[in-house]
Chains A and B, each alone.
Chain A
Amino acid sequence: MKPPVLKPPPVNAPVLDMHNVSVSYGAHVPAVLGVDLTVRPREIVGIIGESGSGKSTLAHSVLGLLPKTARMSGERFMLAGADILKADRTALAALRGPSAAMIFQNPMTAFSPIHSLGRQLTDLLWRDHAQSGAQKRARIVAALAEVGIPDPVGRLDAFPFQLSGGMLQRVAIAAALLMQPALLIADEPTTALDVTMEAQILHLMRSLRERAGVSILIISHHLGVIAEICDRVAVMYAGRIVEEGTVEAIFRDPRHPYTQALFACEPALVPTGVRRLPVIAGEVPRPGGRLCDFAARCAVKAARCLEQAPPWTRSGEFPVHHVRCHGSALSGNVPSGRGS
């Protein structure tokens, strides 16, 4: 079987370009609905949203790692110049690694417990047939040193259980550094780590962008992480992107009531003296509603929210800021949280 022909994308063409992409499980259970998302070269884009909002399905669709029951459709879904919608399983597998790779939430289980780290990192470099084992080894040692792992040569023979979670997440970033994918997807990369480790990992991810020119798509429900590292943010709710803009726009002037509610629930932003942490009442509805999905939980809903689907409109005074809400123009003056 032939590897897919990759046309070199034009300079500055988006690394990831999704237009009206939907994913459903089976025929009737949509998980992602009509998503528009672009990630440009060297850009770090964040996706926030509750559990069940479709973030992970979105990430896995980019990697072609959706379960076999999943059905994908859309107008445009390009990853590093390749058309994901037209690619078969073999073509998708060929894209994983060079075009897109992923860092997962729990570094402790992201590596095989019974194979040495050197063995596993070498296996990730399986495409480089031309290189000798010694050459690969030297590259791996260099990458491990670059992400700040002490004694990188000795670590080649180490097993995952001998390293801390933070160290293992560094190894995962070293793997991304070795592979230099066009797009790195990071699914809650710091959730399993303690706070000091979190800052270091975020710093490493930023340097991954600076040194290797990798674009990054971060999935998180941790607003601090998003504010810290992202250029742009998309807020997902019930399979749709409901608000999108620069970090500044979203954090200084959140327009969608759902985004506002997310900020109101962020423990770090809750004013002192509040005895009971706020929550968003209700739960994420099944995606695929034809009207506003958030209306049932919305504090500022109007009659038309229950009558017609909200349009995707420009909003606020920031240059890059869109929102999917009927009342977004009215609800701009809520006290907004400062990016932490």
Chain B
Amino acid sequence: MLGFILRRTAIAIAILLLVALLLFAMMHMIPGDPTVVALGPRSTPEMREAFRAMMGLDRPVLDQLGLLLVRLAQGDLGLDVWSRRPVLTMVLEVLPYTVALALASFVWALALGLVLGCVAVVHHGKWGDWLIGAVSVSFVAVPSFVVALYSLLIFAVWLNWLPAIGAGEPGDIGAQLRALILPSFAVGLGWVGYISRLVRAAMIEAMGEDYVRTLRAYGVGEGRIIYRYALKQALLAILSVIAIGFGSLLTGSIFAEIVFTRPGLGKMTYDAVISRNFPLVMGTVLVTSALYVTCMILADVLSAWLDPRVRSAI
């Protein structure tokens, strides 16, 4: 098992290296002089030259790449073009907000999605199944920013139950949690529908397996078959999809962040790209990729741990 985790980690590092290379290549290929963007059109050539020297842009491309890799290996993501603050610090500042939102959204979406999926399977082919199917599909179909805007309007503006914007004062856990409710609702709703459809399909497939017939032939009850056997198989089947979903939430839910004016990785990445803030783009994208890859490794380890066939093969 340890060797398996180490192998996966090595692959993950290779992926991150590739991401860094691609980002580096992209920055040098896209049109526009970063110094002009950074300093504005009225900057003098001397200012630009000084800026170029400071950012290392005057050196040969390969030198720049080497320098970048050495810095990355040391955990140094460089300095923000505007504020001159370390990129790593800036990313770590917003990361907790993004992780909190992703966790809150996914935990309730996963819980409700699993329940709805199971209920749909129990009522397979009856009206309960149809109803859950219709509700799930509409959850998936509504864009999260629409849900965000309407929930903002209803619960924050009209009813005034929950804060409309911001993420709560630092240190005030209660306010932070209250500020999390509406965004996580808006982000998670689509996932509820998606996960319930996924669970339903995987469980129906599991219920068609031969071993279910064996259990039935011995009079084992449907409840036990569904919750002890089919559910485990279904979870195993959808685990990697769940991990990808959670990974994409960790990369930031930009609509929810904008609508609720929350700090977060998605918003930060977007702003960095718009303003050609290359070190910050590099930093946010690399951290995002690292989170994503970590999710995939965790999913692999979890599925290996749950599936005896994989467990014994590694």
A124 B218 Cβ-Cβ under 8 A: yes
B211 at the binding interface (Cβ < 8 Å): yes
B217 touches A (CB below 8 Å): yes
A196: shortest Cβ distance to chain B, in Å?
24
Most chain A CB within a 10 A radius of its CB, from B218, B221, B232, B233: B218
By a CB distance below 8 angstroms, the chain A residues around B215 are: 120, 123-124
A27-74 with Cβ < 8 A to chain B: 63, 65
Measured as residues with beta carbon below 8 angstroms from the partner, the interface class of chain B is 20 to 34
Assess whether B219 is in contact with A97, with CB atoms less than 8 Å apart: yes
Given contacts A65-B213, A123-B224, contact A113 B219 (CB under 8 A): no
Q: Counting CB contacts under 8 A, is A233 at the interface?
A: no
Q: Are A65 and B217 neighbours in the complex by a CB distance under 8 Å?
A: yes
CB 8 Å contact bits of A95-108 with B (1 = contact, 0 = none): 11110011010100
A94, CB-defined interface residue at 8 Å: yes
Interface presence of A159 (CB below 8 A): yes
A274 interface residue (CB < 8 Å to B): no
Question: A172 to B216, alpha carbons, bound, how many Å?
Answer: 14
Q: A114 and B210 in contact (CB under 8 A), knowing A97-B219, A123-B224, A123-B228?
A: no
Cβ of A318 under 8 Å from chain B: no
User: Given A114-B232, A114-B307, A114-B308, are A109 and B219 also a contact pair (CB < 8 Å)?
Assistant: no
Contact B219 A106 (CB under 8 A): no
Tell me whether A104 and B233 are in contact (CB under 8 A).
no
> B-side binding surface: helix, strand, loop or mixed?
helix
Interface residue B236 (Cβ < 8 Å from any Cβ of A): yes
- Establish whether residues A112 and B233, one from each chain, have CB atoms under 8 Å apart when the complex forms: yes
Which chain B positions have C-beta within 8 A of A109? 209-211
- Judged by a CB distance under 8 angstroms, whether A115 is at the interface is yes
Smallest distance from the beta carbon of A108 to chain B beta carbons, Å? 9
Cα–Cα, bound, A104→B210 (Å): 9
In the complex, whether A93 has a CB less than 8 A from a CB of chain B is yes
Q: Which residues of A contact B219 (CB under 8 A)?
A: 93-98, 127
Smallest Cβ-Cβ distance to B311: which chain A residue: A159
The yes or no answer to B44 lying at the interface (CB within 8 A) is no
Chain A residue at smallest Cβ distance from B232: A114
Residue pair A110, B214 in contact (C-beta under 8 Å): yes
Q: Does A132 touch B at the CB level, under 8 Å?
A: no
> A101 contacts which of B217, B224, B307 (Cβ < 8 Å)?
B217
Interface: A312 (CB within 8 A): no
Chain B residues with Cβ below 8 Å from A127 are 219
Q: A162 interface residue, CB < 8 Å from B?
A: yes
- Bound-complex Cα distance A13 to B209 (A): 36
Whether B217 lies near A102 (C-beta < 8 A) is: yes
Chain B residues whose C-beta falls within 8 Å of the C-beta of A116 in the assembled complex: 308
Q: A114-B236, A114-B308, A123-B228 are in contact. Are A104 and B213 (CB under 8 A)?
A: yes
Tell whether, in the assembled complex, residue B232 and residue A115 are in contact, meaning their CB atoms are under 8 Å apart: yes
* Residue numbers in A under 8 Å from B302 (CB-CB): none
Q: Is the CB of A124 within 8 A of B211?
A: no
Is A227 engaged at the interface, CB distance under 8 Å to the other chain?
no
Contacts of B306 in A (CB 8 A): 114
Selected from A63, A114, A115, the residue in CB contact (under 8 A) with B217 is A63
Our pick among A97, A104, A111, A113 for the contact of B309 (Cβ within 8 Å) is A113
Contacts A106-B210, A161-B308 known; A96 to B229 CB distance under 8 Å? no
A59 nearest CB neighbor, chain B only: B217
Residue of B nearest to A95 (CB): B219
A102 to B217, CA, bound (A): 6
Cβ contact within 8 Å between A112 and B229: yes
Q: Does A223 contact B (CB under 8 A)?
A: no
Partner of B218, one of A106, A113, A162, A179: A179
Is A182 part of the contact surface with B, judged by Cβ < 8 Å?
no
Contact A111 B214, CB 8 Å, known A93-B221, A123-B224: yes
Chain B residue at smallest Cβ distance from A161: B309
In the bound complex, how far is the Cα of B214 from the Cα of A112, in angstroms?
9
Indicate whether B181 reaches chain A with its CB closer than 8 angstroms: no
Report the Cα distance A147→B202, complex, angstroms: 35
| Chain A residues whose C-beta falls within 8 Å of the C-beta of B229 in the assembled complex | 112, 115
Given contacts A65-B216, A96-B217, contact A159 B211 (CB under 8 A): no
What chain A residues lie within 8 Å of B312 (beta carbons)? 159, 161-162
B15 at the A interface (CB under 8 A): no
Asked if B220 lies at the interface with its beta carbon under 8 angstroms from chain A, I say yes
A121: nearest chain-B partner, CB-CB? B218
Question: B220 and A126: CB pair below 8 A?
Answer: yes
Given the contacts A106-B210, A114-B236, A175 and B308 also touching, CB distance less than 8 Å: no
Cβ 8 A contact of B308, one of A93, A102, A159: A159
CA distance A161 to B213 in the complex (A): 18
Distance in angstroms from A186 CB to nearest chain B CB is 11
Q: Which of B236-255 contact A (CB under 8 A)?
A: 236
Q: How would residues 186 to 222 of chain B score, 1 for a CB under 8 Å from any chain A CB and 0 otherwise?
A: 0000000000000000000000011101111111110
CB < 8 Å neighbour of A111 from B211, B221, B307: B211
A-B contact pairs, 17 of them (CB 8 A): A96-B217, A101-B217, A102-B217, A104-B217, A111-B211, A112-B211, A112-B229, A113-B309, A114-B233, A115-B228, A120-B211, A123-B228, A126-B224, A159-B312, A161-B309, A161-B312, A179-B218
**Which residues in A have some Cβ–Cβ distance to B below 8 Å?**
63, 65, 93-98, 101-102, 104, 106, 109-116, 120, 123-124, 126-127, 159, 161-162, 172, 175, 179
